[in-house]
Chains A and B, each alone.
Chain A
């Protein structure tokens, strides 16, 4: 079999510019890797996050009633809006581990965690049963509890105290954040176990509404209707929790971040495909005459176009074949780390047929689309005009501009840049984007560090101890007296609060774990503990006497009310109406609303303190502190429910941030690679096109050094434009990312911080890259003899 001559010619044409084509294809490979990795991980993740969550049959909502018996449950089941209903409890309490230390525990009580209809969990591992009360732990809570299946764990039950459970097995609850992130032990027991151990009632009813479960409007209306019907029947519904319908607590944030990454990846790919087009354009400029010859010997325009288009398609295919396996591996890695961050399983990593088709179409189609313009232009020229070397008028214009711009090497460099402004613009955009993404990634990371530093500086206490029940002020003083190594700060009463809607209903979008979307009402004796925070709105001068002070995340949660607006909060079924007086900045903090302790007492009779905060001396130990308090407060029927230390806060959020900055930095590096390849390609083309020009210049007396300087200064001009543009672009991008990531993790934007160290590294690194990219073509241009450069066509 003989290779047809047109194909042979295509092969030889490509071979002649092989080095540059390889660079362009390599750039495309990098771009495609980003696209494949991000689109595959994003489809894997979106598919599995939803399926993992929905297979648990999550409740449409939860009614907090305070006392649920079978009769009430039957009444609720009979309502037309209810499709399924079930009594449950979610108890925020503390656990005692096998080594005697205390930790945070969340106990989920339901009819049967494995088989019941609502919120069904998947059994991960089952141990042998023994006579003890049985409990299942969330699979990732095993490590936090430091226990094996068959081991023991104690939960503090209301009115009973610490009760020992045997760990019967593990379950997988995808709706919860990983246990180690929350530093909480998630336990699951059934109703009969609960009833045997304590006389405390079940407080909640989990409900799946009738109708479309995915329709937020339907769910909201039906839940509201159920609550108001029960209200009319004298059943006091304290709180209605309606999470986002059929949506994993992190699904929206995850999608936002993934789509942002996708935009970066797609831009990288588009620019790299454009690079291919520029390379083809460079080839076409050299091919104009040969195309005309082909036409004179009978080639039709279509034949020639098809020939080059198939060439471009082959390049795209090559890029596809190289990029897809790598992209898949990286995409799976990303999917794995995100899914483990959010605690759900990946069922399959096999990309769908649709996705593979999409990759093939983009990798082959995009360079073809970008090659259309240069190809049509080169093949559309009439034979006669292509054969006679006519200089187009636009070239003459550019020459006039360059003559105006200066003399000597500077003029040569400018001429080089203006010779093909599109190409120069491409090189600048590639470098700009690389710089912008790298800088943004590091800025966000720096913003995160800054926010933790500010938070650490502004957090007066080293340790916060949350008690199971409030104690009186004298009792609190006695506790502090027993802790000689600790300096007590103002103790507070912390209560779960919710907003009351206009229809009088208290409806929150909190998920069952209570972690996402919760608001704490903190009653303080004075503003002493918060007055050092930056005031963002309003004034704290009047202290707490005039109303409520919110932190920024609480402000966002309440829908950004204006200063002076009366806030309608519900605490344990009691309503509190007070105006908003100020908004303070608190980094790394959940949503807090501050109220005066005296005010709260006079309004609703809440008193005492349940949050003790201390500045600790260096030799303090959490364990000793907790056991000291526990011994002392046992007599009052109170214990330490939760310990919040700075270390733990950081642990909870740093995972979120790291994966983001790592991904962003890798994208930045990919872009830097695409940028460097782009620059090498464009500089290469630009020098090759001007070889005979350089030959003429040298023939008339230009020294090699002058030509070398002109080519290098061209690169440096590109570099400086790209550096400035990169910094300019990185500022809004960093701000956007900081606010997105900040909102996602602490409900408020991260402080903007510009990472000058990275700027310096990027500036120097890219300068070196530019010089390295410009050098090979520059040296090869001057190494050639004058004669051979002149003989180039």
Chain B
């Protein structure tokens, strides 16, 4: 449904593996996975439970460190994020990626608006004077501006997920990673979240999302399937 962008990938993983070592037994969660993410793409990562979807998305988002392989980021300079220090990685994350979790993970003590302001204040990418306006316009875009002074616990699941998405977009990142963002939502709410992501892709952002919900396949520009840590097939859906 959505056009695949033809520009160069903004993030490429090359033969990444993740091996867990627990109490003597090793478990290969991911083996030799390669994936390119181009601007405007909406990629769905699918597979059975335990197949390594979360592991992959965490590696790509720089939340976890791969055992081998490289992940090249081409935002303003070309960097292998697997070689970055913890501090540099945090900086990179703040600037380049937005992350949305299944369980929202809003900071409970801050209001919705303050939650959106947090990444901007932490990363100092958006000029100070613009932050409040930007936060409000993001909330407006996501139709929860009237909830901005409430605490996360006072919102419904769908509203919380919108707030989480607004927060992920705060620093205007190029890629959004989302691990089962609709897992806790009803079908209608899930659909509206998917629409949001689709709009982002239209604005040339890339969305990488883990999902079990194959009913929503229409939204994806392609799927990436995993089974036991290995890629099954990568095909264009259109």
A residues within 8 Å of B by Cβ? 2, 4-6, 8-9, 12-13, 16, 289-290, 293-303, 382-384, 387
Contacts and interface: CB of A to CB of B under 8 A. Distances in A.
B118 A294 contact: yes
A208 to B, nearest CB: 67
A8 B110 contact: yes
Interface stretch (B74-82, B90-98, B194-202, B225-233): B90-98
Contacts of B11: none
B120 to A, nearest CB: 8
A283 to B, nearest CB: 12
Contact of B122 (A13, A294, A387): A294
Given A5-B114, A5-B118, A6-B122, A298 B109 contact: no
A298 B107 contact: no
B132 interface: yes
Nearest to B124: A298
A297 B90 CA distance: 8
Given A9-B118, A298-B122, A293 B91 contact: no
A387 to B, nearest CB: 8
Nearest to A300: B90
Interface of B: 58, 61, 63-64, 86-87, 90-91, 93-95, 98-99, 105-110, 114-115, 117-123, 131-132, 167-168, 170-171
A290 B107 contact: yes
A13 B121 contact: no
A298 B116 CA distance: 12
Contacts of B90: 295, 298-301
Nearest to A12: B109
A693 B1 CA distance: 50
Contact of B114 (A8, A295, A298, A301): A8
A519 B115 CA distance: 81
Nearest to B111: A8
A297 B110 contact: no
Interface centre among B115, B117, B122, B167 (most CB of A within 10 A): B122
Nearest to B131: A2
A296 B122 contact: no
Contact of A13 (B58, B86, B109): B109
A302 B87 contact: yes
Contacts of B171: 298
Contacts of B93: 295-298
Interface centre among B98, B121, B170 (most CB of A within 10 A): B121
- B contact patch SS: helix
Contacts of B120: 5
Interface centre among B58, B107, B171 (most CB of A within 10 A): B107
Given A5-B118, A6-B118, A298 B110 contact: no
A347 to B, nearest CB: 52
A294 B87 CA distance: 13
26 contacts: A2-B117, A4-B121, A5-B110, A5-B115, A5-B117, A5-B120, A5-B121, A5-B122, A6-B118, A9-B110, A289-B105, A290-B107, A293-B107, A295-B93, A296-B93, A296-B105, A297-B98, A297-B99, A297-B122, A297-B167, A298-B91, A298-B93, A298-B95, A300-B91, A300-B94, A384-B64
A294 B107 contact: yes
B71 to A, nearest CB: 16
Nearest to A393: B23
The list of the 4 closest CB pairs from A to B, nearest first, reads A298-B94, A12-B109, A5-B118, A297-B119
A383 B105 CA distance: 13
B125 to A, nearest CB: 8
Contacts of B95: 298
Contacts, number: 81
A671 to B, nearest CB: 35
A9 B132 contact: no
Contacts of A2: 117, 131-132
Contacts of A290: 107-108
Contacts of B94: 297-300
Contacts of A12: 109-110
A9 B151 CA distance: 12
A738 B170 CA distance: 69
B118 A297 contact: yes
A293 B105 contact: yes
Nearest to B109: A12
Nearest to A296: B99
B18 to A, nearest CB: 11
Contact of A296 (B63, B110, B121, B170): B63
Interface centre among B99, B108, B109 (most CB of A within 10 A): B109
A303 B123 CA distance: 10
A382 B91 contact: no
B107 A303 contact: no
Contacts of A294: 107, 118, 122
Contacts of B61: 296
Nearest to A384: B64
Contacts of A16: 109
B119 A298 contact: yes
A382 B123 contact: no
A300 B87 contact: yes
A294 B123 CA distance: 11
Nearest to B93: A298
Contacts of A298: 90-91, 93-95, 119, 122-123, 171
Contact of A383 (B64, B114, B131): B64
Given A296-B105, A300-B91, A384-B63, 7 more contacts: A6-B118, A12-B110, A16-B109, A294-B122, A298-B123, A301-B87, A302-B87
Contacts of A383: 63-64
A384 B122 contact: no
B142 to A, nearest CB: 16
B114 to A, nearest CB: 5
Given A5-B117, A299-B94, A301-B87, A384 B109 contact: no
Contact of B121 (A6, A293, A382, A387): A6
A337 B119 CA distance: 58
Given A5-B110, A12-B109, A303 B122 contact: yes
Given A8-B114, A293-B105, A383-B63, A299 B122 contact: yes
A302 B123 CA distance: 12
